[in-house]
Structures are given as C-alpha cells and as structure tokens.
Amino acid sequence: MNNETYIEDLKMIREMMNRSSRFISLSGLSGVFAGSFALIGAYLAYLTVYANQDYLQYRKAVLTTETITTLLLIAVVTLLLSIAMGIFLSKRKARKDKEKVWNLQAKRMLINLFIPLITGGFLSLILLFKGYIGIVAPLTLIFYGLALVNASKYTLTEIRSLGIVEIILGLLAAQFIGYGLIFWALGFGVLHIIYGIAMHLKYRS
C-alpha cells in the first residue's frame, strides 16, 4: 500500500512539474483544422498556378505578379484561419483543465516558435520575389520543422517528432523540386491531421 501511494505521489509531482514548465493547453483538434485548411489552401494554390490549362497536356507553372499575389493571399488566409482556430480551441481546453492559456510557458513557446518561423517566412518571400519559387516549399517545411523542434522544449513532447518529420519532408522536397506543392500539402496538411487526431485521442483534447 505504501509503495502504491509513493508511486501515485511521484506521478502527481511529475504532472505538477510538467504543468509548471510546459504549455500543455494545445488542442489536438487544432491540428486537424490546420491540416484541413492547409489542404484546401494547397488545392487553391494548385488551381491558381495551373489555371486554365489542359489537364491532358504538359502543364507549365504560370507565375505572374498577380499569381504570386494570389498565392500569398491564400497563404495568409490559411495561416490566419489556423491561428484563430488554434487559439479558440486552446482557450477552450485551458478552461476545461482550469489552466491559464497565456502564461510564462506559452510566451516562451511562442518566442521559440516564431524566431525560426519568421526568419524562414522572410527568406521565402525574398526568394519568391526573385523568382526562385521552386525552393519556397522546401524552405517553408524546413523552417517550420525547426520552429516546432525549437518550441517543443516548452510544450507537448510530440511536437518535436512532428518537427523532425517536417524537416525530413522539406529536405525531400528540395531533392524533388517539381513536386514542392505535393510535399507542402503532405507536411502542412496530412501530417497535421494525423498528428491532431493522435493528440486528440491521447489527451482527449
């Protein structure tokens, strides 16, 4: 009986330490929504790039200034929808768990997330406007993966694994430049949905 009590006490202490050092209000469902938005965005980007082309013939990317502007608009809307849904679901989970959604751990997580993310975003924009569109998808995947790995110190440990897979996908996308949009859809769409479902089932979030 004493051993069982001792083990339970250790589990409780470990849980309290985890709550005090990590942001654990991330909702698995936010990953599902983010992945779904990304897949829709990838489809719209595909239609934009290959607009009005015969599907039975060789397809050439059409990259006018208007096309690039539309792609950026799709990316921004997709990002904003994902962030908004993530905030909403994280707040709901925090209320359910009686936790504060905006605490020191959340601030540390966001700082560590956004430094690589913003760096990669600006670098991708610079290369995009210089005409190096083929490298944009690999770069966004790699920097997003680095951002997740960097932020994983202050949130759920599964985020680190997701980040590593995103980096690997980015490297593969760099090897197969012509298939960047497919890798982008896999990384930001399919992987997020799989991760979100797994986290929802594990943490019931």
Count of domains in the chain?
Answer: 1
Q: How confident is the model at residue 35 (pLDDT cuts 50, 70, 90)?
A: very high
**What does the DSSP assignment read for 105-132?**
HHHHHHHHHHHHHHHHHHHHHHHHHTT-
Least confident residue range of 26-30, 58-62, 117-121: 58-62
Q: Is the pLDDT of residue 16 over 50?
A: no
Query: Stretch 171-197: mean pLDDT, rounded?
Result: 92
Would residue 191 count as lying in a domain?
yes
Residue 39 maps to a domain: no
pLDDT in tens, 102-146: 777 778 888 999 999 999 999 998 988 888 888 999 999 999 999
CA distances from 141 to 26, 116, 151, 153, 190 (A): 21, 11, 15, 20, 13
Do the domain assignments include residue 14?
no
The answer to whether residue 132 is domain-embedded is yes
Q: Flag whether pLDDT at 52 surpasses 90.
A: no
Q: In this structure, is residue 43 part of a structural domain?
A: no
Q: Give the pLDDT confidence score for residue 58 in this predicted structure.
A: 44
Please say whether the dihedral angle defined by the alpha carbons of residues 172, 118, 47 and 64, taken in this order, is positive or negative: negative
Asked, for residue 7, whether it belongs to a domain, the answer is: no
State which residues form the domain around 116: 89-203
Residue 125 within any structural domain of the chain: yes
Q: What end-to-end distance do the CA atoms of the chain give, in Å?
A: 33
Residue 8, in any domain of the structure: no
Residue 205 has pLDDT above 80, yes or no: no
The residue among 149 and 156 whose pLDDT is bigger is: 149
